[in-house]
A and B are shown apart, each in its own frame.
Chain A
């Protein structure tokens, strides 16, 4: 079993969350805690990097649904990057690409943030 793991870092001033493994109804609470901590600290320019994420269920997408309004209300955004096609398909099926920025890599996410300033 590939367990779920989160790592946090910054990239040129942006908060980056690296996701590893499998995100489901069991592991989603870990992501929720991480996002909640960032929001509590008013860190709202968030990039979530999916490069090492092998699998996502709707409970994982639900976390992004629950927090996006909070983040946008304090002037930030959650931008999603580096998804493999399997993970992207789930976001796509549920209509996320029209409401969330899903980008190829962190560089593109940062450019998008800069454009929005």
Chain B
């Protein structure tokens, strides 16, 4: 069996880096044979996950850093985004009600919902020191 290809990127928690992460993930996914539609899904899911880290885990503190790790194998792309900030509690997550949010002039809270729809698997792991969001997109 062919060995998996892995890629790693460490970034500071600035929204300026979002386009950099998108380009990094998209170009690697393209190189590894993912379709245009799959790449669109992956690009948005990664953007949403990194935006959550920058905004919620680190409150836009760009002295903090997070990691993006990609692993391609014959069946899938696995993406892990690791931060060392404030953890996200998935049990408190609710599916966004757009109408209610508009009335309350609230924005945000839609990232996780999008990731769930765009990727095949989503898991979240927090051990107190670090938080890891893992997303998988299958080739077929």
Same complex for A and B? Answer yes
A54 to chain B minimum Cβ distance, whole angstroms, is 10
Known contacts A57-B47, A57-B51; A25 and B15 CB within 8 A of each other: yes
Taking a contact as CB atoms closer than 8 A, the residue among B15, B99, B110, B113 that contacts A62 in the complex is B110
Taking a contact as CB atoms closer than 8 A, the residue among B48, B102, B105, B117 that contacts A57 in the complex is B48
Taking a contact as CB atoms closer than 8 A, the residue among A58, A96, A99 that contacts B108 in the complex is A58
Question: Is there an interface contact between A26 and B16, defined as CB atoms closer than 8 Å?
Answer: yes
Taking a contact as CB atoms closer than 8 A, the residue among B43, B54, B98 that contacts A65 in the complex is B98
Q: Is A39 an interface residue (CB 8 A)?
A: no
Question: Is there an interface contact between A25 and B51, defined as CB atoms closer than 8 Å?
Answer: yes
Question: Is there an interface contact between A94 and B15, defined as CB atoms closer than 8 Å?
Answer: no
Q: Which residues of A contact B133 (CB under 8 A)?
A: none
On chain A, the number of residues with a Cβ less than 8 Å from chain B's Cβ atoms is: 25
Question: Is there an interface contact between B114 and A94, defined as CB atoms closer than 8 Å?
Answer: yes
B111's nearest neighbour on chain A, judged by CB, is: A58
- Tell me if A's interface is mostly helix, strand, loop or mixed: helix
Q: How far is the CA of A93 from the CA of B110 in the complex (A)?
A: 10
Residues of A within 8 A of B (CB): 1, 22, 24-26, 55, 57-59, 61-63, 65-66, 68-70, 86, 89-90, 93-96, 99
Smallest CB-CB A-B distances: 9 pairs = A62-B107, A26-B15, A58-B110, A25-B51, A95-B98, A25-B15, A57-B47, A66-B107, A65-B107
Residues of B within 8 A of A (CB): 15-16, 18-20, 22-23, 40, 43-44, 47-48, 51, 54-55, 96, 98-99, 101-103, 105-108, 110-111, 113-114, 117
Q: What are 15 A-B pairs with beta-carbon distances under 8 A?
A: A24-B18, A25-B51, A25-B54, A25-B55, A55-B43, A58-B48, A58-B111, A58-B114, A65-B107, A66-B105, A66-B107, A70-B105, A89-B40, A90-B114, A94-B110
